[in-house]
Amino acid sequence: MTVVATDIAVVVPTIGRAELGELIRTIAAGDPPPAMIVVADDRPDPAQPLELPEVRIPVRVVRSGGRGPAAARNAGWLATDTAWVAFVDDDVRPGPDWSAALARDLADLPERAGASTARIVVPLPEGRRPTDEERRTVGLASARWITADMAYRREALLATGGFDERFPRAFREDSDLAVRTIRAGFEIVAGERVTEHPIRARGGWVGSIRAQAGNADNALLRRKYGRRWREVIGEHEGRTGRHLLTVAAAATALGGLLSRRRWPVALGAAGWAALTAEFAVRRILPGPRTGAEIAAMIISSAAIPPAALFHRLRGEVAARRSTTRRPARAVLFDRDGTLIHDVPYLADPDGVRPVAGAADALAALRRRGVPVGVVSNQSGVARGLIRPDDLSAVNARVEALLGPFDTWQVCVHQDEDGCACRKPAPGLIHAAARDLGVAPADCVMVGDIGADVQAAMRAGARAVLVPTTATRPSEVAHARTSAVLADDVAGAVRYALAGRW
C-alpha cells in the first residue's frame, strides 16, 4: 500500500534543547510534510512552556514527566492515529528533503515491514582523531537500530506495546523494541533518508564514568533475552568479565594490605595494574593522544570497572524485582467495562449494572486486606456530555453497590487536552499508588482495553486484561506478551493474589 503524507506523524522527545525549533521547521517545510508533529516534553517539571515555531502543520505537545526517552516516545505515539510514526531525536539535523525521503522510504512497503531505519551520519572533528567521549557518538553511525531517526508502523507498536519504560536512558530501549518487533513477526528495513547526528560533549572523562549507568539496562536485556542477549541485539562482546577481574584484583590487594600479607598485595596490585593499563591503552590508541586525553583515559580507566559493576548489580536487582512473582499489595480497577457494564457517557445512576462476579471478587480482596481502587477515564465531562454532579452520582452508585473503595482516581479530560492522567498515561495509577501508600510496582491494574494495560506498564505496575466485545484483537495480542489475560474479574483477582506473572 502506498504511504502518503497523511499516513505519517513525527514524534520528537525533548528535554528542551535549543535545536528543537529548527528541527520542527525543517520537518514541517518538507514537500510533502507529515500529517503532524508531536513534541513529547520530557522535562521533569517544566517551569516554562516550550518555545515552538509556527509552522504549516499541526504541532502538539504532550508531557511525559521526565521519565526518560522511552516514556516520552510512548506518550508521543499514543497521541497519534497515523499508520506510521517516525521517531526523531531533538538534537539531530535532518536534510532539507527529509520529509519527502521519509515518505519514499515508507511507500509500498509490504505489510510485514514493521519499521524503517534511516542512515545516521556523524561528522568527525576536523584535523584530529575523535576523543573517547566523541567516539561514543560516532558509534551511532553504525548502530543497528537507533531511534535518533526510525519509523515504526502503528500495527507493530500496538503488537509490542511500544517502548519498555523500564529503560530510563537513551540506551538499549531502541534495540529492545526492535527485537520485540522482529519477534512479533515484522521485518525492519533500511531506508535511504539521511540524518546527521552532531557530536555532543557530555562531560569528558567524568561523562564516561557516568555512562556506566547503562550497565543497569544491560542487566534488564539479559533478564529479558538470556545470557546471549548481546548476540540477540547484534552487539560485540562487552567487558563485564574483565571489569570483574579488575575489581577482584583490587580487592585482593586491599585485603592483603589490611591483613598485612605481602603476596596478596603484590599479586592483586600487579593484576589490577595490568588490566587497568590494557583498558587504558585500548582507549588511548584510537584517540588524539594528547596529554590531557591520556591523563583522562588513565584516571577513568581505573574508575570505570567498579562503576560498571555497581550499576550492573543495581540493574540485576531491579530487573529481578520487576519480573519476580509476588502478590499484589493493591488492586486497581477500570470502571466501565470492568466493574460495571459499559454505557457510553453514563450520566444516570440508575444505569449502573455491575458485571457478574465483580462484587465477590472485590470481597475476596477485602478479606485478604488488599486495598482496592478505581481508576477511570471520564472524558464526557470535558466534552460536555456528563455534568460533574452526574459523574459524582454515578460513582456514588458504584460505591454503594460494590464499595467501599480505598481510592478513586478519575480523569475528566479528553485526548486533545494532553494531560498526564488520562489512560494510557500513567498519572491515575501513580496517584492511586500514592494515595494507598504503595509503590506502583506493587499494584495490579485490571481493565478491559489496551489503554488500561499500557497505563499500567508505563507506571511500572502489572496488568490483567479481561477482554470484552470492546477489546480489539491487537490489544489481546499485546496483552499476551506484556500482561496477563483473564476470562473474568474473578480470574483477574486470582492472578493478582497469586502473583502469577
450-476 pLDDT per residue, tens: 899 989 988 888 999 999 998 988 788
85-132 residue pLDDT tens? 999 999 999 988 999 999 999 998 999 999 999 999 999 888 899 998
* CA-closest candidate to residue 492, choices 459, 460, 456, 448: 448
81 is catalytic: no
pLDDT for residue 253 is more than 70:
yes
In a domain, 256, yes or no: yes
List C-alpha distances in Å: 223 to 171, 217, 315. Answer: 16, 10, 10
Shared domain for 100 and 141, answered yes or no, is yes
> Could you please report the per-residue DSSP string of 429-489?
HHHHHHHHTS-GGGEEEEESSHHHHHHHHHHT-EEEE---TTS-HHHHHHHHHHSEE-SSH
Neighbours of 201 (CB within 10 A): 10
| Cα–Cα distance, 44 to 65 (Å, whole number) | 5
Last residue of a domain, one of 323, 339, 374: 323
Residue 229 lies in a domain: no
- Cell numbers at 404, concatenated: 467501599
Q: Which of 105, 132, 336, 452 is catalytic?
A: 336
Neighbours of 307 (CB within 10 A): 18
pLDDT above 80: residue 478:
no
Give dist(CA 191, CA 84) in Å, integer: 14
List the grid coordinates of 389: 454532579
Stronger pLDDT, 457 or 83, i.e. the higher one: 83
Instruction: Give me the phi and psi of 138, to 5 degrees please.
Output: -55, -35
Q: Is residue 274 part of a domain?
A: yes
Q: Catalytic annotation on 334?
A: yes
Burial of 205 (0-12, 13-18, 19+ CB in 10 A): buried
Pairing of strands 372-377, 149-153: unpaired
One-letter identity of residue 435:
D
Looking up residue 85, the CATH number of its domain turns out to be 3.90.550.10
Helix, strand, or coil (residue 124): coil
Do residue 335 and residue 194 come from a single domain? Answer: no
Q: Report, as an integer, the average pLDDT of 443-448.
A: 96
- Secondary structure tally for the chain: helices H, strands E: 18, 14
Residues 83 and 107 both lie in one domain = yes
Question: E strands of 64-112, at which residues?
Answer: 84-88, 93-94
218 domain residue, yes or no? no
Q: What percent of the chain has pLDDT above 70?
A: 96
Domain that holds residue 484: 330-498
Does 86 share its domain with 26? yes
Q: Residue 1: what pLDDT?
A: 46
Q: What are phi and psi of 377, to 5 degrees?
A: -85, 130
Does residue 217 form part of some domain? no
Query: How far, in Å, CA of 272 to CA of 392, rounded?
Result: 67
d(CA 379, CA 400) in angstroms, rounded, equals 23
Rounded-to-integer distance, Cα 319 and Cα 34, Å: 38
What pLDDT sits at residue 481?
66
User: Is position 222 within any domain?
Assistant: no
Q: Which residues pair with 376 in a beta bridge?
A: 410
Closest CA to 461 of 478, 480, 477, 484: 484
Q: What is the pLDDT of residues 138-163, one digit of tens each?
A: 888 888 888 899 999 998 988 787 88
* 134 and 278 fall within a common domain: no
Predicted TM-score (pTM) of the model is 0.72
Residue 267 shares a structural domain with residue 312: yes
Is 28 found in the same domain as 125?
yes
Residues 341 and 466 in one domain: yes
Q: Does residue 211 form part of some domain? A: no
Percent of the chain clearing pLDDT 90 (strictly above): 67
172 & 281 share domain: no
Q: How sure is the predictor about 299, in pLDDT bands with cuts at 50, 70 and 90? A: very high
Q: Which residue in the list 41, 89, 149, 334 is annotated as catalytic?
A: 334
Q: Is residue 46 reached through a cis peptide bond, with omega within 30 degrees of 0 on the bond before it?
A: no
Pair (338, 279) in one structural domain:
no
Write b or e for each residue in 420-447: b if 16 or more Cβ atoms lie within 10 A of its Cβ, otherwise e: bbbbbbbbbbbbbbeebebebbbbbbbb
Q: What is the pLDDT of residues 199-212, one digit of tens each?
A: 876 666 788 899 99
The domain that holds 418 is classified in CATH as: 3.40.50.1000
Cell of 408: 478513586
pLDDT of residue 204: 66
Strand ranges (E), 291-406 = 330-333, 372-377
When pLDDT is averaged across residues 207-222 and rounded to a whole number, the result is 91
Structure confidence at residue 322 (pLDDT) = 64
The domain total for the chain is 3
The mean per-residue pLDDT over the stretch 226-249 comes to 92
Domain end position, chosen among 290, 323, 356: 323
Q: Residue 231: inside a domain, yes or no?
A: no
Domain boundary (258, 289, 323) is at: 323
Q: Which residues of 93-129 are buried (b: 16+ CB within 10 A; e: fewer)?
A: bbeeebbbbbbebbeebeeebbbbbbebebeeeeeee
Element (H, E) at 110: none
The Cα 121–Cα 268 span in angstroms is: 44
Q: Do 91 and 194 sit in the same domain of this protein?
A: yes
pLDDT tens digits, one per residue of 2-28 = 555 679 999 999 999 989 999 999 999
Cell numbers that stand for 497 in this block = 493474589
Closest to 378 measured CA to CA, from 353, 345, 406, 337? 345
307 plus 356 within the same structural domain: no
Contact 462, 483 (CB under 8 A): yes
Cα(110)–Cα(336) distance, rounded to whole angstroms?
38
The strand pair at 484-485 and 372-377 is best described as: unpaired
